[in-house]
Amino acid sequence: MKEEVILHQWAISPFCGKVRRILDDKNIAYRVKNYNGALVAKAASLSSAGKLPVLDINGKRIADSRQIATYLEKEFDSTPLVPKNSQQQAVMNIYQDWADESLYWYCFYFRLNYDNAWEQVATYFSEGRPSYEKLIVRHFGRVQYKRNLMAQGIGRYSKSQVEERFLFLLDQLNETLHEKHWLVGDRKTLADIAVASQLHEIKRTSHLVSRMSEFKEVERWLVSNEEKSFPHC
């Protein structure tokens, strides 16, 4: 019997959203396992980095969205998400790194520093768990992650500075997408998936959602990068 593919995830993690999109694009059937509320401690034990996503596939356990993407590209190559051309590949890798290492922190910032957004995160993050766990997430989760944001650096800037910088970057992305369907070459690549996964999560919880919709090229392109399905278990 063929083994089930299992994605260990948080529904609102942009990196988990990125892996879901890759699995969907490659038509790989999978089940999700969520680590909401107090299960966060269990999530940390799944890999040496202690982060999600983690994917169980073909008897292997793979951690990190980039490692997962590399594995899936090699094993399921009928829908390629990496261009053959090496220059395009390089641009794709730079976009992916920008999404994972820079845009991600904007998503984090907009969730942690705005009460309304954090309330939504606490709700998503404690779905299916006893209600007292939501209180823990709401308070201690916020304190802990704010420390990460300060250590990374972006947490030391004011809301107006971070919003202005983010909207500037969206404007630049908008320019980049002018008369183009995809960020790199003429088909969807990991660059689109990585960047769109971050932006979709920012839109999910951020007060900036209506400002973001002013960037028409980005909006159009985001529609092409929606998740095909949103599986729950």
Q: Which residues bind ligand GSH (CB under 6 A)?
A: 13-15, 50-53, 64-66, 100
Residue found by looking up tokens 């007060």 in the block: 207
Of 32 and 177, which CB lies nearer to ligand GSH in the complex structure? 32
- Shortest spacing between CB 214 and ligand GSH, in angstroms: 27
Residue found by looking up tokens 């790199």 in the block: 184
Q: What residues contact 65, with CB distance under 8 A and at least 6 apart? A: 15, 16, 18, 19, 53, 100, 194
Give the DSSP H or E segment for 7. Answer: strand 6-9
Of 65 and 225, which CB lies nearer to ligand GSH in the complex structure? 65
CA dihedral angle for residue 224, residue 228, residue 230, residue 231, rounded to 10 degrees:
-160
CA quadruple 93, 96, 100, 105: dihedral sign: positive
- Shortest spacing between CB 1 and ligand GSH, in angstroms: 29
Of 21 and 177, which CB lies nearer to ligand GSH in the complex structure? 21
- Shortest spacing between CB 12 and ligand GSH, in angstroms: 8
- Shortest spacing between CB 108 and ligand GSH, in angstroms: 8
Of 64 and 163, which CB lies nearer to ligand GSH in the complex structure? 64
Residue of closest CB approach to ligand GSH: 51
